Amino acid sequence: MTQRLDYTKAAPGGVKAFGSVYGYIMQSGLDATLVDLVYLRVSQINGCAYCLDMHTRELHGRGVPIEKLALVQAWREAGELFSETERAALAWSETVTLVAQTGVPDAEFAAASKVFDEKQLSDLTMAIGLMNAYNRLAISFRRPPAAALTAGG
């Protein structure tokens, strides 16, 4: 894969603004591992190799077992491997990421609201939106994943 353009150099102010939102989310009180699981799931849905690589590495570095990482995309079938909070966050991530298809139904909002308070749900939704934006940049401009660069690809 050949990178089309380096948006980090072409629009550094925009990248910095996204970084500010990322910083807010990481200081919001949401668990960092939970946020990275959400980022990983959103990136799976969108097919973003760059972000899949990055968030898998970050989660692995935080001690998340490989078995759990391998089952993020099938979390509903993974039983108790994912906590109630993780399952709620992953379900919310899916419905919000697929908003054009789901319309984010009232039942999904009600389910998420049982686990997250208003601030947490707002922050989680901002995190989902941010990752969707990052995915669109990386996919549109073909940002190569670190694994491809280290493999000589």
Q: What does the pLDDT look like over 18-30, one tens digit per residue?
A: 999 999 999 999 9
In a domain, 116, yes or no: yes
Residue 103 above 90 pLDDT?
yes
The answer to whether 34 touches 86, Cβ cutoff 8 Å, is yes
Backbone angles phi, psi at 25, to 5 degrees: -60, -45
Percent of the chain with pLDDT over 90: 92
In a domain, 89, yes or no: yes
Q: Tokens in use for 61?
A: 């570095």
In a domain, 151, yes or no: no
Backbone angles phi, psi at 117, to 5 degrees: -75, 175
The H or E element that residue 17 is part of is helix 12-26
Domains in the chain, number: 1
150 confidence band (pLDDT: 50, 70, 90): confident
72 confidence band (pLDDT: 50, 70, 90): very high
In a domain, 70, yes or no: yes
Q: Tokens in use for 94?
A: 């899916």
CA dihedral defined by 102, 135, 119, 68, rounded to 10 degrees? Answer: 90
pLDDT value, residue 151: 60
In a domain, 128, yes or no: yes
pLDDT value, residue 153: 44
In a domain, 18, yes or no: yes
Residue carrying the six token digits 């190799």: 49
What are all long-range contacts of 83-89, with beta carbons under 8 Å and residues at least 24 apart?
A: 84/115, 85/31, 85/34, 85/115, 85/116, 86/34, 86/37, 88/112, 88/114, 88/115, 88/116, 89/34, 89/37, 89/38, 89/115, 89/116, 89/124
In a domain, 35, yes or no: yes
Task: Specify the CATH number for the domain of residue 61.
Answer: 1.20.1290.10
Residue 106 above 70 pLDDT?
yes
Residue 87 above 90 pLDDT?
yes
Q: Tokens in use for 119?
A: 């601030």
pLDDT value, residue 78: 97
In a domain, 1, yes or no: no
Q: Tokens in use for 52?
A: 């899949």
Domain that holds residue 137: 11-145
Q: What does the pLDDT look like over 109-146, one tens digit per residue?
A: 999 999 999 999 999 999 999 999 999 999 999 998 88
Average pLDDT over residues 91-110: 98
